[in-house]
Amino acid sequence: MRILTASDRSLLVEAADLDEAMRLNLAWDGVPGIVERIPGARTVLVRFDPVRTSAAALAAVLEGTELDAEHVPHTREVAVPVRYDGEDLTEAAGLLGVSAEELVNRHLAADWQVAFSGFAPGFGYIVSSDPLFDVPRRSSPRTRVPAGSVALAGQFTGVYPRESPGGWQLIGRTDAVMWDIDRDPPALLAPGTSVRFERADRDVISLSAHSAPSENRDDTDDRRRVGARRADDTPDGLGFPAGAAVEVIRPSMQLLVQDAGRPGHAALGVSASGAADRTAMRDANRAVGNQPGAAVLESVGGATLRFHGDGVAVVTGAEGDLTLTDANRIARNIPHATPFATVAGDELALGHPTRGLRYVIGIRGGLAAASALGSRAADTLAGLGPDALAAGDVIAIGNAVAGAVDPLVQPRELPASGDLVELDITLGPRDDWFTASALQTLTTQEWLVTPRSDRVGIRLHGGVPLERATQGELPSEGAVTGAIQVPADGQPVLFLPDHPLTGGYPIIGALTDRCLDLAAQLPPGARIRFRIEEGQS
């Protein structure tokens, strides 16, 4: 067993093979200090609480693990009907040296089991004992793979739960719903599930049905998925919705509901997500007297909001012009990070940020948007939680009041476009996949934050790409928020809260936890210099 540093709060444990990785994952259930485990093809990523244990102490416990079971037990059995008409069926069969008919027959005859989850909620990495199934990914990933697509990559079969990009070989499609938040469990293919593929005895229904509401949902329930109602729903005599609420007049580039996230669901393929700038969220909630993790608004760029009912609000995070205009069209400037009273009809205008990227708007009582797996956070990659807010959406104000108010927000230095920011990192777990010159380039070269960045990750550009010492594909393994993943072009991607749980590109290092909030505020045009945390060679 080899234990590698994955961040200042996580370890990556290498196993001999997939079966051992699955058994180790089960063996560590209940180990003190472990927050979450993410099994991969030959690894287990272990996130820990540094208050309860240290990396060294946890490593000693992990190394002393004794495995009793020889194999991972099957938890249940699921049948998946497949129509084998995938675009890559013939090509995949050729890569494996068999006919398309033989590939299909052996796919139907094999015993399959879900090894682990990742990539997206409900996506199971399914493995069999048939040695035939070991096929490379496509050289060029598709930008759009339809929901329900059945695909092969490496030794795995997978079924795409929703439309997404993907580089797996498509061999068929199914109408089985992989992920349903209202089902228990939501994931059809959870780890340990025994899977039997069957030839579909009828045409597969339109794949658009995978993204449609279930039959027992109406339009009102679908709006609940969005987490808001339209401004003309349940109006009072003035045309405003009843009760305290906030209405979107002009949305920003991305206006989302966020809270402290949904940690602890990695086994379902669900990342924690949550507020990108946790400090700004906590500051906002303290300033208006909310519980620390109450739901807030996270806005990339300027926006305009209207308040329905009286209350208290605050704007933290990014800095820019803030204007509050009352019902009589009298405007006044609002100071940053200072709570202010609101009355019905007031409109808050957020100007384009001059420093930072993401505003956080806290409102006393928090936002009562729809909850998914115990959180109101919008996960943009997984499609969990409320959708991005649009003009006319109205979100009710909740009752997440803690009572105590702390209006004194500590000042922060956030970057503007063009500024140079130093971020502390730990190396690993795959720094040995890169040349010595690449490691030097990582920490000496300035990296530009490109506009092709979002809550999934910040795409960086440097004059000198990072050169690999090891070529080939890395078996899928877990990744943490703050991980610096390096695709084949050598230009890093810095993972933010909505990143995929697993990936196949090597991770050269990861931000320390204290730098994550600053990274979330990096605007396009900012420059980064990485600095290895003191004490790590």
Look up residue 40 and give its two tokens. Answer: 């991969």
**Cα angle 375, 225, 399; round to 5:** 50
pLDDT at 433 (0 to 100): 97
- Within 10 angstroms of residue 98's Cβ, the number of other Cβ atoms is 15
- Count CA within 13 A, CB hemisphere, residue 225: 14
* CA distance between the termini of the chain: 22
Look up residue 356 and give its two tokens. Answer: 């930072």
Distance between CA 260 and CA 358 in Å, rounded? 16
pLDDT at 140 (0 to 100): 73
Look up residue 433 and give its two tokens. Answer: 């996949």
**Cis preceding linkage at 407, omega within 30:** no
**Cis preceding linkage at 429, omega within 30:** yes
| Of the candidates 372, 394, 374, the residue with the CA atom closest to the CA atom of residue 385 | 372
Look up residue 170 and give its two tokens. Answer: 């498509």
- Within 10 angstroms of residue 513's Cβ, the number of other Cβ atoms is 17
pLDDT at 265 (0 to 100): 87
> Computed from CA positions of residues 175, 180, 185, 189, in that sequence, does the dihedral angle turn out positive or negative?
positive
Could you give the C-alpha distances from 364 to 245, 470, 506, in angstroms and in order?
A: 11, 53, 43
Look up residue 490 and give its two tokens. Answer: 């050598």
Distance between CA 11 and CA 369 in Å, rounded? 35
Q: pTM of the full predicted structure?
A: 0.87
DSSP bridge partners of 509:
427, 484
| Of the candidates 87, 75, 70, 145, the residue with the CA atom closest to the CA atom of residue 117 | 75
Distance between CA 416 and CA 527 in Å, rounded? 10
- Count CA within 13 A, CB hemisphere, residue 132: 23
Instruction: Indicate the DSSP class of residue 425.
Output: E
Distance between CA 430 and CA 5 in Å, rounded? 9
Distance between CA 501 and CA 110 in Å, rounded? 27
Look up residue 380 and give its two tokens. Answer: 């943009």
DSSP bridge partners of 196:
79
Per-residue pLDDT 10s for the chain (537 aa) are 899 999 999 999 999 988 899 889 889 989 999 999 999 989 999 999 999 999 999 999 999 998 876 666 677 899 999 999 999 999 999 999 999 999 999 999 999 999 998 888 899 999 998 999 999 888 777 889 999 999 999 899 999 998 988 889 999 999 999 999 888 889 999 888 999 999 997 654 443 333 333 333 333 344 434 455 554 444 333 334 457 999 999 999 999 999 999 998 887 889 999 999 999 999 999 999 999 999 999 999 999 999 999 999 999 999 999 999 999 999 999 999 999 999 999 999 999 999 999 999 999 999 999 999 999 999 998 889 999 999 999 999 998 887 777 777 888 999 999 999 999 999 999 999 999 999 999 999 999 999 999 999 999 999 999 999 998 778 889 999 999 999 989 999 999 999 988 888 999 999 999 999 999 999 999 999 999 997 665
Q: Tokens 């308040």 appear where?
A: 307
Distance between CA 466 and CA 215 in Å, rounded? 50
The length of the chain, given as a count of residues: 537
Is there a contact between 135 and 168 (Cβ–Cβ < 8 Å)?
A: no
| Of the candidates 259, 326, 337, the residue with the CA atom closest to the CA atom of residue 291 | 259
17 by Cβ neighbours in 10 Å (0-12 / 13-18 / 19+) ranks as: exposed
* Residues 6+ positions from 160 with CB-CB distance below 8 Å: 120, 123, 145, 146, 147, 148, 149, 151, 166, 178
> Computed from CA positions of residues 236, 238, 244, 246, in that sequence, does the dihedral angle turn out positive or negative?
positive
Look up residue 76 and give its two tokens. Answer: 């249940």
pLDDT at 295 (0 to 100): 98
Radius of gyration of the chain (CA): 24
